[in-house]
Chains A and B, each alone.
Chain A
Amino acid sequence: MADADEDVIRAPGADTSQIDTDLSDETQDFRLLSHLNLYVPPTLTDTTSTSLPKRGEKDFEPNPTEFQADVLSASRQAMHNALAHPRIHNTKNRVIGIYAPDGPIFPDGYVETPKDVGKGVGVAPDCCIYIPSAKGSVFQGIGQADRWNRLWLLPEEALYMIERGSLDIRWPTSMTGTTEEEEGDLSIPMSLQAAYACMLGRAGLTMERYTVYTGLKRLGYSVFRASGWDDSAKPETPTTGDEPDAYTEPRQRGPGLSGILSCIANWMDDPFSTASPAAGPLVGCGIHRSYGDVYRRMSLIPWYDPTLAPQRDPLDTIAPFRVVFHVYKPSTSVKRSALPSPDFRIAVVNTREQTTIPTLPQLSALLQGTPIDPPTGEKMERLMYMRLRHGYRNVVLAVVDQGVSSFLRIGDAAFGKEKMYDSKNAPRGQKKHGNYKPRKR
């Protein structure tokens, strides 16, 4: 009757929203866009007209009705309208950035004083766009200010802001040959195409990484580069081979007195032990006193205990299986100067370059580079399945296949730490009668 599982699939009572339906998987209904008032003139502060649209019904196959044809053409028209909608930079809060092809540079006419030699500009070397006189906080959670009150942007930050319509960037005077006096409104604007050409491929920014970055940013997450961004970065102290083995060996006798004691205890347990791992039976032919003993005697296969594994340098990993983004939930308050521990760590994989799923060494290194995050809390203590699902370390893999990214959360589970045969441990889950009760996850 194992097949009763199939019932779950079609349990109609189950709230479909609980099964992870991902709205972003569906094709968008562009008709809804035309109801949305995209451009609200500044004079109009009435926001009642801009309510979020609802999804309509789906047709699954073509039929000869004109109605369907009308719906289809209306959809197409709405999509065209949406795409043809003029994207406007509001003059009021227009921000102009300047491209710095060689990375952070000093302001013109600045001479390094002996005191400041070696300090550099003071921003990340991968920055390549600066906003000359940033007043206040122009962008939230984006950019880095230097000593001359210029705001430096990383290539992905700049691209994201340009796509949003919040930033307008110019070619530097050094490349266009315009003179100093002409700077400002007369400098030459950079096109979107040129911006993509200049930013992508620069300092490790691939299309895949940009896709993940911009996708998460649009959802409100704060995204920052992690130390593993640079593929070639090596740990300062490479791991030596002599780290402790995290696999438990059930068949080994412990060292010293405790080992001897456990031997004696075993003998007391089963004085006429006939257990023979070499030829079986593993549990022996003797008299068994409890099922717990039987199970304990069966343990034979070494399993991995994540709590025994030492934390490794996050750089001690194999690209692309290394954390490149630290992601914070929108609710987490983030200060660039003092970043808290991230809510999620994301590694980005391009399926066309890394065509296979990770091997154990790759995955193991990736997870060991993340801090241990054991299942704690009242709920976890109570629910064994939840503990197992949470795992001891976790990381999110963003698998990008030609622009489509799917995220996988990988948890380091330890089934060996949860003995099912200890009846107090096991959930007493029962199948619910009938197929109509949704199972709680």
Chain B
Amino acid sequence: MAEATSPSPAGPLNGNGRARTSRPPRPNYRDIHRFPLPVTIHNVPSVIPHNPLSLISVALSYLSCLISPPRKELYTAYFDSATSAVHVTDEKTINALWRMGFFGKGNLSRSEPSWLEREKKRRGYLGGNTSEEATRKRRAERRELKLERARVERQMIEERLKAEAAARESGSMASDGGDAVPAHPTLEKFSVKKAMEAKYQQKRQPAQQNGSVTHPDGTSQASNGKAVRFSPVVETKELAPQINDDDDDVDIELENEEHLQLSNEETFFLAYSLGALQVVDRETNTVIPTSSLFHRLCHHSHFPPRTGTADLEPDDPFLTSYAVYHHFRSLGWVVRSGVKFGTDYLLYNRGPVFSHAEFAVIIVPSYEHPYWSETQERKDYVARKQDRSWWWLHCVNRVQAHVKKSLAIVYVQIPPPQSSYDDIGGVLGQYRVREFLLRRWIPNRSRD
């Protein structure tokens, strides 16, 4: 089960892919995501010194660009001020933004917009699994195993109680001298981990196990905890999607009800840094120019959103988080929200389909500029803004250690208020970032 879910390898065809039966071929992620950003690249033919013809080809390519400048792709998104959110509804744009740089999140999916595909599968039009389904299946299996464990444990307790009662009966007859309770039936504890492993092993040799599906009831399983069998419920569940497959062949046109939702940082990055996105105000149906988009996103980083005329504050949450987002994006990381692990961002190498996020980022503002320590009022304000407790830090750190990510604390230096926020580059250039990597130091394990 697990292997089918894994959204992984870049390779189109796995060497032993055929041996592993009915699994649909994995998409060729290396090809799908070959562009790291939604920007078109026009390669210049390389100059070969001993071949003068190569110069001509270079010149030609320059000329062709001069004469007919290639059309630049401009995508469109909608800003909805009621929800402070940016939506993309056009299918082509959704695909482009997801495939080139992993921007946005499907509003009905966990990340990649896959609702339509899922829905089709649910109705039996398509074979194969989406990652959501695989995860759901795995969770269901784990749940079964946990129930099984609870059952085994309950049974152990009952047996022990019985044995104790029997011992008391006989013990009251005999003198109290010896130990009252006889040797307990040694039941091994049921381990979900071991069960999952066993299942994995079982999967690897499907041929041997195929015929024998009939298992004895729970009692005998419990006694040999290591070779765990699975309740029939799980097996039928696993089979369920396949049965549906040939139910109906009617090809109904399903309407895609999902849209892509861009975070404010992503929106601004696409619009301002790459110039690949224009944002349309849903109410007025007009394109928002970049500078007013900047102001608007800043205002909408507060709750409730500030009105259009309010001054920007140098420590607007949007400004701080965008500085960090831009910093890591410009270094080539794929930056996505880290909310599921309690952090601000997760940093992916190349993208989530290729590798697990290695770093989790939390943002802490820093007010080093002398402006912030000029008056007592400002000092209090700054202290409040920087206040993070040790317990919070330990919590975040422990979670990251558990999911095998390294925690990076990124301090952003907040400049004093600016007279004008029109020069976006000039404003953002004053937010300096500094990263610290944090991890638990365990004396027991650092001795040599």
Using a CB–CB cutoff of 8 Å, the interface residues on chain A facing chain B are 1-10, 12-13, 19-20, 22-24, 57, 63-67, 70, 215-216, 219-221, 247, 249-251, 276-285, 287-291, 294-295, 298-304, 329-331, 344, 349, 351, 355-357, 359-361, 363-364, 367, 385, 388-389, 391, 396, 399, 401, 406-416, 418-422, 426-427, 429-436, 439, 441
Contacts and interface: CB of A to CB of B under 8 A. Distances in A.
Given A67-B160, A291-B36, A406-B394, A251 B349 contact: no
Contacts of A401: 390
B408 to A, nearest CB: 6
Given A219-B447, A285-B275, A431 B356 contact: yes
A4 B160 CA distance: 41
Given A1-B353, A329-B446, A359-B386, 19 more contacts: A4-B356, A12-B196, A20-B440, A20-B442, A20-B445, A251-B425, A276-B425, A283-B274, A303-B433, A344-B446, A391-B436, A396-B441, A399-B394, A409-B438, A412-B436, A413-B435, A413-B437, A421-B36, A435-B6
B435 A414 contact: yes
22 contacts: A1-B352, A2-B336, A2-B352, A4-B8, A8-B403, A22-B444, A277-B424, A280-B271, A283-B275, A294-B41, A300-B428, A301-B432, A330-B448, A344-B446, A389-B437, A391-B436, A407-B441, A408-B441, A410-B438, A430-B355, A436-B196, A441-B404
A221 B447 contact: yes
Interface string B320-334: 000110111111110
Nearest to B408: A413
Contacts of B302: none
B313 interface: no
A411 B434 CA distance: 11
A33 to B, nearest CB: 19
A434 B437 contact: no
Contact of A363 (B428, B436, B442): B436
Contact of B340 (A6, A351, A414): A6
B327 A301 contact: yes
Contacts of B424: 277-280
Contacts, number: 342
Interface stretch (B65-73, B76-84, B252-260): B65-73
B439 interface: yes
Given A67-B160, A289-B42, A294 B37 contact: yes
A215 B446 CA distance: 14
Contact of B389 (A302, A357, A418): A357
B289 to A, nearest CB: 8
Contact of B401 (A19, A281, A287, A426): A19
Contact of A4 (B6, B327, B423, B435): B6
B143 interface: no
Contacts of A421: 36, 331-332
A288 B142 CA distance: 49
Nearest to B271: A280
Kindly name the residue among A301, A399, A439 whose own CB sees the greatest number of chain B CB atoms within 10 A. Answer: A301
A61 to B, nearest CB: 10
Given A219-B447, A304-B435, A67 B332 contact: no
Nearest to A331: B448
Contact of A430 (B10, B42, B164, B336): B10
B432 A431 contact: no
B352 A19 contact: no
B436 A281 contact: no
Nearest to A425: B332
B349 A426 contact: yes
Contacts of B442: 20, 22, 407
A295 B112 contact: no
A404 to B, nearest CB: 11
Kindly name the residue among B42, B70, B332, B413 whose own CB sees the greatest number of chain A CB atoms within 10 A. Answer: B332
B164 A67 contact: yes
Kindly name the residue among A276, A364, A388, A433 whose own CB sees the greatest number of chain B CB atoms within 10 A. Answer: A433
Contacts of B438: 408-411
Kindly name the residue among B157, B405, B425, B448 whose own CB sees the greatest number of chain A CB atoms within 10 A. Answer: B425
Contacts of A13: 197, 200
A161 to B, nearest CB: 20
Instruction: Report the contact-size class of chain B (Cβ under 8 Å from the partner).
Output: 35 or more
A65 B340 contact: no
Contacts of B393: 357, 408
Interface in B378-420: 386-390, 392-394, 397, 401-406, 408, 411, 413
Contacts of A367: 436
A220 B447 CA distance: 8
B221 interface: no
A431 B273 contact: no
Given A67-B164, A430-B9, A433-B8, A410 B437 contact: yes
Nearest to B387: A356
B444 A298 contact: no
A332 to B, nearest CB: 9
Nearest to B268: A280
A411 B6 contact: no
B408 A288 contact: no
B331 A251 contact: no
B178 interface: no
B291 interface: yes
Contact of A303 (B271, B327, B341, B349): B327
B92 interface: no
Interface in B31-74: 35-37, 39-44, 65, 69-70, 72
A278 B331 contact: no
B135 interface: yes
B403 A5 contact: yes
A6 B338 CA distance: 12
Contacts of A301: 323-324, 326-327, 330, 428-429, 431-433
Contacts of A70: 181
B443 A219 contact: yes
A295 B443 contact: no
A30 B359 CA distance: 39
B40 A288 contact: yes
B404 A19 contact: yes
Q: What are the 3 tightest A-B residue pairs by CB atom distance, in nearest-first order? A: A277-B425, A281-B275, A420-B332
A431 B274 contact: no
Given A280-B290, A303-B434, A290 B403 contact: no
Interface string B331-347: 11100100011000010
Given A9-B402, A216-B443, A431 B160 contact: no
A22 B440 CA distance: 10
A278 B426 contact: yes
A429 B8 CA distance: 10
B131 interface: yes
A134 B398 CA distance: 47
A67 B183 CA distance: 11
Contacts of B340: 3, 5-6
